[in-house]
Structure formats: structure tokens, C-alpha cells
Structure 1
């Protein structure tokens, strides 16, 4: 299947695909939001069609936009520069073929700009994780499982360890969050959270997990080695495990991939993979177990980038990792069933004027 190139009107600030990868939400610099739908012709060529366009009413641009899980209908969240998050729902009236987007809820995140936000579907309802410019993670939960218009603050977490870090005045330039995939065998919600700040001690990715019996979130692991202490975290991505063998991880040393010697995981059973883009490389981490029995180890460091790596994203199978950075090259890294990771394709992005 081929996808035609689509020229988007206006200056694009952020984009987000829905769960089925058939709808794309776009945030523009003038504060407008757009919805583009993908369709496939008889020839097999796919293209995008603009089906929604409205003013988010934020008095400026929307830094982030993201989709809720499809179980809750067509719902997107957008944010303003002053930290107000708006939830929008598509409603199709009788006799009409195209939907109308209406605001169904607003959340105020301490009047701080939002660095990243992501939804997650759990057994107890929908969660929205928001990272603000103070470096705090705020988790909102739906009061009613079936009503996405009513929310409450469930928890506020700090990405700090010492009183000096907590009370210090630091600038957070960016942050990235990734929920554990819904395909995971673990019943508890968990997420990875990394920061790019003015303090090297805060530039670390951490794994947080919810403990049902105590109704609290606990930091169960830190994803950083000694050679990454001065590298800001630009992006984190938690791999689905649909297409990957989760029982016997193996890595092989090849070009542009530094492989670290294996150690025995204290907890038997399945493991999960998290990619952390920091500095000029990407670290691949194995995570096994939960809570105090959680074990993590870095299994590979993907190198060969000419500059800062800004994004790394797994595909739906957890077998292919796409990366992009300041060098203008998109690389696809793929692991086979034996866990061997290598570059399968790379292509340069040519900007036209």
C-alpha cells in the first residue's frame, strides 16, 4: 500500500495518529485543530482527507494533541500554553455524514505549559498522564468509567530523588511519557517518564507502576547508565509485545549497535522492552517483574547518529523501531525473532522551500 504525500495548510506544531492509524489529529500554530482521515482507493493508493477543522480557543498555539483509546469513541485532547487541557469529542448528528467536534471537558494543570500527555485504558477507567513544565507528572482519572467528560486528579508525581532536587529551580525543556502497552501480560498500569532539563541529575527515564492494594504509584526502576549521565532524555517508547518472543531475549553485536553482556534476570518469565532516546543514541532496556522484584538492564545502545536523536517509536508489533533526529535522517531498526537488531532502511528528509 502506498500513501500519497499530503500538504498540510499552516504551520504544524504537533500531530498524533489514533489507535487504528487511520485518523490523524494536527495542532497548528494559530490555535486550530484539524482531523485528517486516511482512505484507500481501488488502486491501493491511500491518501488523507481533511474532515475536521476548528479553533481550539486557546489564544495561541496548541503544543500537544493526542487521541484517547478507541473504546471511548473519537476523543482527542489538546492543551494550551498556559496548561489548560481540552477534551474534544466527535458527534455525528442525524442526517449528517461528517461529525462536529465539541469540547466536553477542561482540565487545569497548575497554569503550567504541558510538555507531553498520553491516554491509557485500564480496568478501572481511562487515565490521562500529563507532564508539566515543573517536571511533575499529573495523572487524571475518569470518575465514571463510561463518561469521559468527568475527571479528577488521581496523583501528582515528582521526577526527583533528593530535597535539593525537589526544592531547586530548574528549567524543564522537554519531557516524554509512554504507557505500558495494553497487550502486556501485567494487569497493573505502568509508564516510563523521562525529562530534558537544566539539571543532569533529573535527566533520567524512570518506570512507575500502580500498586492496587495501596492505591499508589511507585517508582520501580531508573533507566540510565554511567555513560548517559550528561545526556538529556528526548523520547521514550514502550514496545508492544504482539510480534516479539518475550521468553528468550538474545542480542547480537552488529554495526551501529553496542550490545551489553547479558545477566541473569532474577524474575523468570516474560520481559518488556523500552527505548530511550538520549543524546546521540538510543538505549534499549529490558524490564521484567514488578514492584520490588522489578529488574531492568540495558541490552543495547543504537549508535551511528550524526546529531541529537529526538524521537524513537516502536511499531504496533514491537519489532520495528523508527528513529529521527537533527541529522534529518529517519532510520528503521528491526529485530528478528531471535532479537537481533539492525538498520533495515534509512532515508533523508528533504525540506522544500
Structure 2
């Protein structure tokens, strides 16, 4: 059954992104009103806005949390061509706001010449690294050499794409058998150039990222992309939000480890759904990669789950106002995105017989 909860976010314009921290007890939202809000979940389950501040001089497209091992750190990106790293600081005893926390700007990354469309921290095992992508078709990877000094970031890699970049996703696998990998999506309007999803892999020999695969069957604008948590699999699963929802399986083919050539993959389409009947804006996995949530311009959040035969089906639908669609079951806590409800955040939970909730 569904349990839905709605929060009046009080943003003054469209909310573009909602991001949970590692533990799922903190949440950040960003908006075209140029602000970020941080929300904390109390013991009673209620969400309270604990911080709100103006961040950029343009619409804020994305906000993301670093792993808590590196502190309470956020990164945001904007139409103003910058990405910014923020850190939460607890007031000292001589502070006017004794014991209270506030967010301060640690650094502004200004390498992009156009709108910075997405920002993501790398998986924890890679250290404190931050990746951005821009409308100029460049993916940039930064590293903080000293995690105690977040004002210093060095540009480690620039990956040039022929297409305007709209979204990125790190492969979260920590297996030594898998090299660091980034998926890049494009919303480029150039219809003559196919393959709006590109996979880049880091090579230890060349110490550079090289294109390993292009998903040529994805020819429409890509709005979001997400690698599924790996959990020891030998292959990778990638979800894509375009005019529909697509799930791909990437099976690495044998490779000589001494070779400088990137890994080649056998690409399989696991599922493709057009149930939204509109543009799909966000896709998000739960921690076990057994549930995928998607949201679209139809004002609905949909949940997808595979059965024992690996056939994916829709297991739940939630309307934008928080009410379940008649006859549907299922759900999981997700981030919600809809242009029709720009001042409201909707949460959905999947209550199983065991009474456990699974967070996406």
C-alpha cells in the first residue's frame, strides 16, 4: 500500500532537483529561485527546513551530497556557468548562533563557458572527487587533494563530447575488476547525431578517460541517467530517462589488462516503458537496485521492479498530489520532479509485509 507525504517547500520557482544524503535523513532541494534548502527528518518523521540560502546568480539545476565520511558537504551547479561546493559548519562557543549550523561557500568552479547542467561526487572509494558536465559538451573531474581544505580543488580530467551534456552518473562499483566509469547523457537537439548516451572508462595505462561505449539506440534527448548499485555483479545496469524509461545491461567482454584500449561491452536492453506518455525527467534506484523510480511530465511517479525471470513491470503509480492511482500497489521513498507541482515535494513509501521501508 501507499503512504504519501507532501511538504510545502516554499521555493519561489520550479524545483529542479531533490537529493538525499547517505543516510536518507537529510535532504536538499534547489530551484530556479537561485536558492538551496536543506531539510532534516525528525524522530517523528516530519521534515523541517533547517537552512535556506541564495546560491547562484541563475537557476540551480542540481544539488548533490558528498559521502558523510568527508563531512556535511553539498555541491550545486547552475545556469550561471559555475559549480559551487558548500560545507556545513557548526557555530563556535563565541558565535552569536552558538551550537547552530550554517552553510558556507568553500569554492566556485568556473571552468565552464556555458551552463553547468549536472554535478556528482564520485564513489567514496575514489576519494573526494567531483564531476561536472556542461552544455559546452565537456565533462570535468575535480579532486580535493586535502579533504580538510575544501577551498582547494584541482582539475584532473576534461572529457570532450561532441554533444551538449545534460546529465552524468558514476558507476558505483568498488570491484577491482571494474575500472572507474562515467555515463554521460545529452539533450542535444542535433537529430542527425545518434547515441545520446556515452560511457567513459578510466585507463590505468594512459591515466585518462576514454570512450568505451555509445548507446546508439538512444537518439532522443536524455534528461537523467543512473547506474544501479552493483552489489557484486559482473555486469552493469543503467537506467535512462528520455521520452520513455529504458534499462540497459552492460556486460564487459574479456580484456587484456595491459592494453590501453577501453573495455568493450555487450549492450542489452532489459526494459523500455512509455507508460508516462510524456518526457521522463528523473530516474532513481533503491540501494539494492531492485526498484527503479521514474517521474515525468504526466505528473506521476512510477515504480518498476523485475520478477524472478528478470521481466520488468510497473508495481506502483503515484500522482503528483500524493494520491495513489486506483488499483496500484507498491512504492518507495523517492525524489519527485514535476513542472506541475513546483512548490511541493512528494514522498512515497512501499510498505511490505515485514513493515520495512526501502529508500530510493
Q: TM-score range by the shorter chain?
A: 0.7 to 0.9
Equivalent pair of 1:6/1:47 in contact (CA under 8 Å): no
- Distance of 2:206 and 2:123 partners within structure 1: 20
- Distance of 1:71 and 1:93 partners within structure 2: 20
Secondary structure of 2:159 counterpart: strand
Equivalent pair of 2:170/2:182 in contact (CA under 8 Å): yes
Please state how far the C-alpha of 1:177 moved relative to its aligned partner: 0.8
| Structure 1 counterpart of 2:41 | 38
Equivalent pair of 1:135/1:159 in contact (CA under 8 Å): yes
Is there any run of 5+ residues in structure 1 with no aligned partner, and where? Answer: 161-169, 247-269
1:213 corresponds to 2:237:
no
| Structure 2 counterpart of 1:5 | 6
| Structure 1 counterpart of 2:27 | 24
Please state how far the C-alpha of 1:94 moved relative to its aligned partner: 3.6
Secondary structure of 2:287 counterpart: coil
Please state how far the C-alpha of 1:86 moved relative to its aligned partner: 1.6
- Select the structure with the greater relative contact order (CA < 8 A; seq sep ≥ 6): 2
1:277 corresponds to 2:241:
yes
**Counterpart mapping for 1:1-353 below 5 A:** 4-10=5-11, 11=13, 12-41=15-44, 46-56=45-55, 58-95=56-93, 96-121=98-123, 123=125, 125-160=127-162, 172=164, 175-182=166-173, 184=175, 186-200=177-191, 201=193, 204-225=196-217, 228-229=218-219, 231-242=220-231, 246=233, 270-289=234-253, 291-350=262-321
- How high is the TM-score relative to the length of structure 1? 0.79
Between 1:12-21 and 1:179-188, the stretch displaced more is: 179-188
- How high is the TM-score relative to the length of structure 2? 0.78
In 2 relative to 1, CA 339–74 (structure 1 residues): closer, same or farther, beyond 3 Å? same
Secondary structure of 2:59 counterpart: coil
Please state how far the C-alpha of 1:288 moved relative to its aligned partner: 2.6
More strand by share: 1
Runs of 4+ aligned residues of structure 1 deviating over 6 Å after TM superposition are none
Please state how far the C-alpha of 1:280 moved relative to its aligned partner: 3.0
Please state how far the C-alpha of 1:337 moved relative to its aligned partner: 4.8
- Distance of 1:51 and 1:298 partners within structure 2: 42
- Distance of 1:123 and 1:25 partners within structure 2: 23
* Cα offsets for 1:170-209 (capped at 9, x unmatched): 7x4x611111114556453211111011112155111111
Please state how far the C-alpha of 1:7 moved relative to its aligned partner: 0.6
Is there any run of 5+ residues in structure 2 with no aligned partner, and where? Answer: 256-261, 322-339, 344-360
Query: How many residues were matched structurally?
Result: 309
In 2 relative to 1, CA 83–239 (structure 1 residues): closer, same or farther, beyond 3 Å? same
In 2 relative to 1, CA 88–196 (structure 1 residues): closer, same or farther, beyond 3 Å? same
Over the residues paired in the alignment, what is the CA RMSD in angstroms?
2.5
